Chain A
Amino acid sequence: MIRDDLDIWDRSEMEPRIRHILERTARLRHTGPYRPKTNAEVTAMLTRFFAAHDMTDIVIADVERMSGGASKEQFAFTLSHGAKEAQGERLVLRMDPLEAIAQTCRGREGEIQVAMAGHVPVAPVRWFDADGDLLGQPAVILGFVDGVTQPSDGDGRAVSGMGGHLGSLADRLAPQYVDALAKTHRFDWSRAHLRYFQAPRAHSRQAAIWQVNWWSGVWWDCLVEPVPAITLAERWLRENAPVCDRPVLVHGDLRMGNFLFEEPSGRFTAVLDWELAHIGDYHEDIAWTMQKLFGSWGDDGTFLVSGLLPRNAFIERYQAASGNVIEPERLRYYEILNAYKCAVMDLGQAMRATIAGNNHQEVVLSWLGSAGAVFLSHMIQLIRES
């Protein structure tokens, strides 16, 4: 049953919080360039933040810049509060530079991880400052979780999780990965009282069109150089938007590099990077994780989804674990949407942030930006096949 009077070209059809984030990005872009924060600046910001939470008897120690991620500026630090907490707690500050490869909301990231605790392994959320009212920049503060994203005996050459290999741990990681996806999609978001999220209508094309409007909004706002294939894909995505009967929680970026595990057991300790989470079609997550750039090849030359297991085995296990059926045509739509999204991030948002000098690691953004053509090739091939 289709309950849909949606105008596929109505660019204002967008989740309100996403519109807020995109408008804020455009408004603040010209206040750059952004300078990476020093440890002393971070300590001062945190001190002000905790004072605003009536936590004055604190010590912030061992502030340490973290690597990883192409998006957020991250620092680990130890917080001691009051005499009885002499040892303190190790925490992670994830905050927005002025612009990154994806402009997202720390309120959503914090809120969804609070909601998912107990369902899948996540980092504990201690505080978040959705609009940077207290810290000066939007941020989320998480409990530090032990683990690695790649085996420590690997070559460690992956950038933002791409180009890595999980080696012999893949067999132990694969079931946990499928389980995390299935549990995310089975999560009952309607009872979670999410303040920063809105759900698209069921039995409607709104789930797809919200995504198209989000990313085409980013593209036109950031445009550096026209790419006709990206424009053609936007039109195709609007004209072929599928109906989503039952919107689910979509992680949005679950792939190699975005889960932490212990060594040598391979036990999952946290599913990371919930910043792209939204309510939508589960095919979107499945298509995302199956992208070639996020996988690797086994010794026998078989492509491994997220470096874990072959495509057909992955689909089979996901269907069994989630009870969701993967429809090939819908999957193809979301494969095109995801390739489009990645091309927009690489050739649009990342380039705009780099040109403006608005990030803390432009050298990473221009490295990742050079992968834009890989996504374009894939997207064109999929459109042709459609």
Chain B
Amino acid sequence: MLPSIDLRIANIIKALEQVVQPALAPRERLARDQVNLCIGHLRMIMEQWRWAVAFEARSLDAMIALADNILPSVEIVWHDELASALDRGWWVDRQDLAAVEKAIVALGGVIDRIILGEDGKYPLTDAVRQAVLDYGEAQAARERAWFAGTGLDPDRAELSSIAAMMDAGVVR
């Protein structure tokens, strides 16, 4: 593919840095700030784009693993609904980003209702609580590695690179 995605992103960054930025008057502070952030976003996108579909597919897989984990512990009222959302999740085409995102929303919605337990009417078992915390911790670590390029994470030195995280297929 010529020109490649990486090349075009690099071209845009150069234009922003070397032409647009110097053309902005010092008093145009918001515009200058926004150009800086555009450059930052583009640098991150350059690292992320080739992994985007796989990253979301693994997010769905992680949520399916959570649903699978909690299925034996959930109240009977949600058992069938969760089992059927789980089943639908398994069959989603992992190369279809929109379908993967839709499946995450559907399955996550059922899990949310289980956690809330009809606003406290049903207790939250320790098993479900632990499973949600384990899943949440792992997923947050993946997302922190994914967005480490912002430089906002105070513990970014502990995070693996996107490539290393994706190659390993696991968190950190």
Contacts and interface: CB of A to CB of B under 8 A. Distances in A.
Interface of A: 8-9, 11, 64-67, 157, 159, 162-163, 225-229, 231-232, 234-235, 238-239, 292-293, 295, 297, 361, 363-364, 366-368, 370-374, 376-377, 380-381, 383-384
B141 A228 contact: no
A5 to B, nearest CB: 16
B112 A226 contact: yes
Contacts of A227: 108, 136
A370 B29 contact: no
A293 B153 CA distance: 7
Contacts of A292: 154-155
Given A232-B129, A376-B140, 17 more contacts: A8-B120, A65-B30, A66-B29, A159-B37, A228-B108, A229-B133, A293-B152, A363-B37, A367-B40, A370-B152, A371-B152, A373-B147, A374-B154, A376-B139, A376-B143, A377-B144, A380-B136
A226 B108 contact: yes
A231 B29 contact: no
Given A67-B33, A226-B111, A371 B150 contact: yes
Interface string B31-51: 111100110110000000000
Given A226-B112, A229-B132, A235-B115, A65 B141 contact: no
7 contacts: A9-B120, A232-B115, A235-B120, A363-B41, A373-B141, A373-B144, A374-B152
B104 interface: yes
Contacts of A226: 104-105, 108-109, 111-112
Nearest to B145: A373
Contact of B41 (A229, A361, A366): A366
Given A364-B34, A371-B147, A235 B116 contact: yes
B10 to A, nearest CB: 19
B152 A231 contact: no
Which of B30, B38, B105, B153 has its CB near the most chain A CB atoms (within 10 A)? B30
B29 A361 contact: no
Contact of A361 (B30, B117, B129, B144): B30
Contacts of B150: 159, 367, 370-371
A241 to B, nearest CB: 12
A370 B162 CA distance: 14
A372 B143 contact: yes
Contacts of B66: 228
Interface of B: 27-34, 37-38, 40-41, 63, 66, 101, 104-105, 108-109, 111-112, 115-117, 119-120, 124, 129, 132-133, 135-137, 139-144, 146-147, 150-155
A65 B29 CA distance: 8
B112 A231 contact: yes
Nearest to B148: A370
A238 B120 contact: yes
Nearest to A220: B112
Among all A-B residue pairs, the 6 with the closest Cβ atoms: A226-B108, A229-B136, A373-B143, A370-B147, A67-B29, A376-B140
B108 to A, nearest CB: 3
Given A225-B104, A226-B105, A367-B150, A239 B141 contact: no
A361 B34 contact: yes
A283 to B, nearest CB: 22
A283 B112 CA distance: 29
Contacts of A361: 30, 34
Nearest to A226: B108
A367 B147 CA distance: 9
B30 A377 contact: no
Q: Which of B29, B109, B112, B151 has the most CB of A within 10 A?
A: B112
B75 to A, nearest CB: 14
Nearest to B118: A9
Residue among A64, A229, A292 facing the most chain B CB atoms (10 A cut-off) = A229
A227 B104 CA distance: 10
A377 B142 CA distance: 10
Contacts of A159: 37, 150, 152
Contacts of B142: 373
Contacts of B111: 226, 228, 231
Contacts of A231: 111-112, 115-116
A366 B45 CA distance: 12
A377 B135 contact: no
A363 B132 CA distance: 31
B108 A225 contact: yes
